[in-house]
Amino acid sequence: MNKHILAFCAVVLCSFSGFAEGKGRIVRSEGAIRNQYIVVLQPHVAKKDVRGIAEMMINAHGGKIRLVLDNAAQIFTVEMNEHQAEAMSHNPHVLQIEENAPVYLSAIQNLPPPAPLNWMDLWNLDRIDQWAPRTATCISTANAPAT
């Protein structure tokens, strides 16, 4: 009888421990930077606790903290190998882990048509040292990595 109760308790404990773990996967990014990951914590983690949790997870899994962002979201970036990142993704505080990758800004902004009154016309200058307005009707930004 005691063996059956012990086996039942073991099954129940194992099933509940599965609910406490994170999803356990890494979100892949195109052009990822090798061994750099962005760790997004669960929304229930207090912003004041982000640095402490990041340090706790680094102590448990290894790696190096690169940046802690705790103002708008609970995020930190780490430098570690893929096996360490995979192990960290199972932590119950982790919402997701994503490979770090460069971000590119690229856009075309259409300028509004000139106003009917001269004093309301746009200057249409792209930079502060430009003497004459552009004749184009749009502004295009470069497609280069953000630094």
Which pair of structure tokens corresponds to residue 119? 């004093």
Q: Can you give the pLDDT at residue 141?
A: 60
- Which of 49, 59, 110 has its CA nearest to residue 88? 59
The number of residues in the chain equals 147
* C-beta pairs of 50-55 under 8 Å, 24+ apart in sequence: 50/74, 50/75, 50/76, 51/76, 53/93, 54/78
Q: How many CB atoms lie within 10 A of CB 56?
A: 13
Average pLDDT over residues 78-100: 95
Q: Which CATH architecture has domain 22-101?
A: 2-Layer Sandwich (3.30)
Domain ranges of the chain: 22-101, 103-147
pTM of structure: 0.60
Q: Can you give the pLDDT at residue 12?
A: 35
pLDDT in tens, 103-143: 877 666 665 655 555 444 555 555 566 666 555 555 566 65
Name the residue with higher pLDDT: 116 or 84.
84
